[in-house]
Structure 1
Amino acid sequence: MSDTDVVIVGSGPNALAAGVTMARAGLSVQVIERNDTIGGGARTAELTLAGFRHDICSAVHPMALASAFFQEFQLTSRLEFIVPEISYAHPLDNGEAGIAYRDLNRTADALGRDGAAWRRLMKPLVDRIDAVTDFTSNQLLRIPRDPIAAAAFGVRVLEQGSPAWNLRFRERSAPAMLAGLNAHSVGEMPRLSTAGAGLILGAQAHARGWAIPVGGSQGIIEAMADDLRAHGGTITTGTEVHSLGQLPSSKAVLLDVSARALDRIAGDHLPTRYRRALRRFRYGNAAAKIDFALSGPVPWTNPDVRSAGTIHLGGSREEIAHSEAQVANRIHPESPYVLVSQPTTVDPSRAPHGQHVLWAYAHVPNGSTVDMTEAIVAQIERFAPGFRDLILDSHHMTATDLEQYNPNYIGGDFSAGAVTIAQLIKRPVISTDPWRTPTKGIYLASSSTPPGPAVHGLCGFYAARSALRHEFGIRDTPDLAIGA
């Protein structure tokens, strides 16, 4: 391999965001990927039957519309997104359901006695969504640009992350909806970390909606890869990196790998104290995933749920909190929290005419080898009787299968590190520039750095900006717009 300015290990959203940024700055960039296809946590493939396109990991993308990187990159002008009128739905027994419309007032009106409380909870965050996103999408060790937005967010996190989380509500739907949001971060509740994740997702649901890329998540990757190549970057696939010695000489190496893998790959190039910190970095609970090819749409009991892009299953707030506590205690719940995406309700291109794909995962203990297919099917059947009869084929991945697919997912932890308050501050170390390691020219650009998990590209973007400053003396962020 020839020498280059920048070598990037990995080809997920963070790696390619770093590559685009460095290439736009006029540097030569080489991306190296272990798999035969690029994409990391945003790949799309025919996992079941011919003509059925499934998102292997990420499927719904609130941050595709909110991410500062994607906004500067003008992603929505490069790739078509559909934003469903219903961001997410939360079915309950007896046909009830909490429905989160993009329209906050419509959502509140549908929540009856809890409508005013929901509006008071969400409206200050929705009204200042850009400032709230900026505060939560960088790092917590800096003065917020908008203290009012940060305070509004912080007060609500303190409420929803404590035993006071139910005080403002009287009915079942609103608390269950919040529990379903909180559970995205795969943690016990009430806790500050799960509440913070839930509130930002909930605010995005009303502010911009939860976007679904037409054709699948792979389109996000291809848009970035095309731009990288257009600016002189190269991508090499099918090459697993075990050590820095395999890489061509360069001024900067950016690694979109877990903290654990950084320790293994960089080894003695890193100071002993820093390596100890990497080894102390903790990984969270995991997911077991299943993809379905269906002969028709899911027969949800509540008809409004049939139009939602995302569905949270698990019943009441108490039931979800119980199942998440079981996972934290290394128990596989009989009635798990299940996150469902039904993209073909808005994007019929992903399946043959009249047929559908369904994406679902359940939370499980880290390192689980249990196939959760039956538990997931049973939970869907609970709210959509007759679902089982629609299944043409399915493809399951245990937590350990997820790690084999993507080594960043330690034990099936797709967040590349437990999402706790401590590890949002110390990710993987306490630093005002956590992407930059103590060794000159080596940067960590994965979800093991701030702002953590999701398809937003920000971990790689921030790592690239740090490397531009420190290795190349470039202080101005390059223009990422189309045609620049």
Structure 2
Amino acid sequence: MTNETVDAVVIGAGPNGLTAAAALADAGWDVLVLEEQPEPGGAVRSAELHPGYLADLFSAFYPLGVVSPAFRELDLSAHGLRWARSPKAFGHPLGPDDEDAVVVSPDPEETAADLERRCAGDGRAWLELVEQWRHVRDPFLDLLLGPFPPVRGSIGFARTMKTGDLLRYVRMLALPVVRMSAELFGGRSARLLLLGNAMHADTPPEAPGSGVMGYILTMLGQDVGFPAPVGGAGALTAALVSRGESAGARVLCNRRVDAVEVSGGRASAVHTADGDRIAVRRAVLADTSAPALYGRLLPADAVGPRIRDDLRRFEWDTPVVKVNYALDGKVPWRSPSLRGAGTVHVGADTNTMIRWSADLATGVVPESPFLLFGQMTTTDPTRSPEGTESCWAYTHLPRGVTDDVSADHLAERVDAQLEAYAPGFGARVVGRAVQRPGDLEAADANLVGGAVNGGTAQVHQQLFLRPIPGFGGPRTPVEGVYLASAAAHPGGGVHGMGGWNAAQAALADHRRFAPITRRVRGTARRILFS
């Protein structure tokens, strides 16, 4: 492969990289994807960790994937992707003794009736929220997931409401999830639906903007459920690989890229650990972390001191510890309603969740961790033998705490937490595998220190500030180099939009106005970083 020349090299075969490759190949570009690991997928892979039990190694449920404009455009169902949904989207018990935990049913009227019997008025409030979501969903998702600045998305979104209603809606989205849930609902159960989903990100529940994730995932759960690919997360990766290859892209694994060569201010080639040099005519798209692209792959003189200084302030999200289980029966939940839920938020009411978040912020390994728990066989019966359950739980360590001892202690507390909510859980475990922060990073270099979202989701590192001020989004100071990962807007989650937006930027920069674009970007670089 030495001295081969292609139109574009995509570094990394995660969902963003594979999406970018397919989009570029559709435009007629000669695209080569180089992946460091022995198989593609990044954080979308599955494996048999216990005989007969298929486990998703990283991510598992993909509500954003189902509504992703990129995945919809790629028509992955034509390449074998099928979605499975659990009878109930998700649930959240009030505490370990709760025998009647709230769950979200496929029918919003059924969810509303359950909430109404718990607190008068919450059922009506739920239906009003769902109706509002239906009205704004498509333009809102275009705004949320599309490229920044979101000119077209903003116009479409603004047209959905009168000015006063739009301002109230924007205010709601800016609220801390604790405040948002209190303003929307009177009862604890309804509030916990938002609170639990907000904790899928690393924004503290009392911080401004933490309500956005809670709102989006809660409404998507009611709208499309929490779907998972039939046959494991790897089935989504297989569909993306097939889609890209059908358009002419090539995917090569066990190919670590060590450097991006820059000549005359633009990308000219990539160099691999094997000593190969692959020249590029048009672009390099990096499905990598921002620190890896700017700090390792690009030459220091092409990056400049201001960006290197900004990268020293780059903040990762909190480390993850994940425990995978194989059970010889179903989870013995104290609350029967949770048996049909694909996702269960375990271990926190409002105040406990705030204390848990405070532990993480102050460097304390939580004694009583909040868990995201996935019942995969309940969602997709192909995952394990009939009557059994392939499941997992994950939680967080404090930022910067990644050692195996702390991770193992936390994993034991995960076991204890599940036993409290599902007495007899431990007796049904026939297989258990812990993934510590170091294990996650070893399997996917983008998961630095066990961080799974490509950097914090807090407001100071989102939108036009993601990954760094002045270069929010896919474009970089080096012509022909694009950041195509969760490190760029719109951030974490499996939806492919980081790669899609990067591909669209690369295509736009090589259309007939490319010379003007180059001059504008060159001027901006001199102003910001000289």
1:326 Cα deviation from its structure 2 partner: 1.0
Aligned position for 2:303:
270
Contact 2:287–2:499 (CA under 8 A) maintained in structure 1:
yes
From the superposition, tell whether residues 422 and 433 of structure 1 become closer, same or farther in structure 2 (CA, over 3 Å). closer
1:261 is aligned to 2:292: yes
Give the whole-Å Cα distance in 1 for the aligned partners of 2:502 and 2:169.
26
The equivalent position to 1:419 in structure 2, one of 434, 457, 460, is: 457
Contact 2:85–2:380 (CA under 8 A) maintained in structure 1:
no
Give the whole-Å Cα distance in 1 for the aligned partners of 2:44 and 2:480.
27
Give the whole-Å Cα distance in 1 for the aligned partners of 2:458 and 2:353.
18
Q: Deviations over 1:298-327 (max 9, x none)?
A: 011221211111111123121112112211
Q: Which region of structure 1 is more displaced relative to structure 2, 121-130 or 103-112?
A: 121-130
Aligned position for 1:362:
395
Contact 1:122–1:202 (CA under 8 A) maintained in structure 2:
no
Contact 2:472–2:489 (CA under 8 A) maintained in structure 1:
no
Contact 2:441–2:449 (CA under 8 A) maintained in structure 1:
yes
Give the whole-Å Cα distance in 1 for the aligned partners of 2:470 and 2:72.
26
From the superposition, tell whether residues 236 and 74 of structure 1 become closer, same or farther in structure 2 (CA, over 3 Å). same
Q: How does 1:286-325 map to 2 (within 5 A)?
A: 286-325=319-358
Q: How does 1:47-446 map to 2 (within 5 A)?
A: 47=49, 49-78=50-79, 79-92=81-94, 93-112=97-116, 113=119, 114-138=122-146, 141-143=149-151, 144=154, 145-147=156-158, 148=160, 151=167, 153-161=169-177, 163=179, 165-245=181-261, 246=271, 247-250=277-280, 251-263=282-294, 264-268=296-300, 269-366=302-399, 367-369=401-403, 370-371=407-408, 372-425=410-463, 426-430=465-469, 434-446=473-485
SS of match in other structure, 1:109: helix
Q: Deviations over 1:75-104 (max 9, x none)?
A: 344411112341111122331311112322
Q: How does 1:21-36 map to 2 (within 5 A)?
A: 21-36=23-38
Contact 1:159–1:165 (CA under 8 A) maintained in structure 2:
no
Q: Which region of structure 1 is more displaced relative to structure 2, 109-118 or 309-318?
A: 109-118
TM-score by length of 2: 0.85
1:284 Cα deviation from its structure 2 partner: 1.8
Give the whole-Å Cα distance in 2 for the aligned partners of 1:14 and 1:438.
21
- Structure 1 regions of 5+ residues with no counterpart? 476-484
Give the whole-Å Cα distance in 1 for the aligned partners of 2:203 and 2:176.
14
SS of match in other structure, 2:36: coil
1:229 Cα deviation from its structure 2 partner: 1.4
In structure 1, give the amino acid aligned to 2:139.
A
Give the whole-Å Cα distance in 1 for the aligned partners of 2:472 and 2:349.
40
Give the whole-Å Cα distance in 1 for the aligned partners of 2:513 and 2:13.
24
From the superposition, tell whether residues 442 and 120 of structure 1 become closer, same or farther in structure 2 (CA, over 3 Å). same
SS of match in other structure, 2:89: strand
Q: Deviations over 1:227-265 (max 9, x none)?
A: 211222111111222212515110210001111101211
Larger Rg over CA atoms: 2
1:53 Cα deviation from its structure 2 partner: 1.0
1:163 Cα deviation from its structure 2 partner: 4.3
Aligned position for 2:266:
none
Give the whole-Å Cα distance in 2 for the aligned partners of 1:401 and 1:152.
44
Give the whole-Å Cα distance in 2 for the aligned partners of 1:122 and 1:365.
35
1:5 Cα deviation from its structure 2 partner: 0.5
Give the whole-Å Cα distance in 1 for the aligned partners of 2:375 and 2:177.
29
Contact 2:147–2:501 (CA under 8 A) maintained in structure 1:
no
Q: Which region of structure 1 is more displaced relative to structure 2, 304-313 or 322-331?
A: 322-331
SS of match in other structure, 1:181: helix
In structure 2, give the amino acid aligned to 1:133.
L
Contact 1:125–1:153 (CA under 8 A) maintained in structure 2:
no
Contact 2:174–2:209 (CA under 8 A) maintained in structure 1:
no
Give the whole-Å Cα distance in 2 for the aligned partners of 1:303 and 1:76.
34
Aligned position for 2:267:
none
Q: How many residue pairs are counted as aligned between the two chains?
A: 474
TM-score by length of 1: 0.93
Contact 1:468–1:474 (CA under 8 A) maintained in structure 2:
no
Contact 2:100–2:336 (CA under 8 A) maintained in structure 1:
no
Question: Cα RMSD over matched residues?
Answer: 2.0
In structure 2, give the amino acid aligned to 1:217.
A
SS of match in other structure, 2:131: helix
Q: Deviations over 1:187-222 (max 9, x none)?
A: 211223321111111111122222111001111111
Give the whole-Å Cα distance in 2 for the aligned partners of 1:452 and 1:168.
27
% identity of equivalent residues: 32
Give the whole-Å Cα distance in 1 for the aligned partners of 2:291 and 2:471.
21
The equivalent position to 2:499 in structure 1, one of 441, 460, 468, is: 460
Q: Deviations over 1:136-190 (max 9, x none)?
A: 2125643412114665642322344464642443322112221101100022112
Q: Which region of structure 1 is more displaced relative to structure 2, 80-89 or 248-257?
A: 80-89
Contact 1:21–1:461 (CA under 8 A) maintained in structure 2:
yes
Q: Deviations over 1:262-297 (max 9, x none)?
A: 121113232332333333221121210011111011
Contact 1:285–1:328 (CA under 8 A) maintained in structure 2:
no
Aligned position for 2:524:
none
Q: Deviations over 1:387-426 (max 9, x none)?
A: 1101001110112322222221222110110001121130
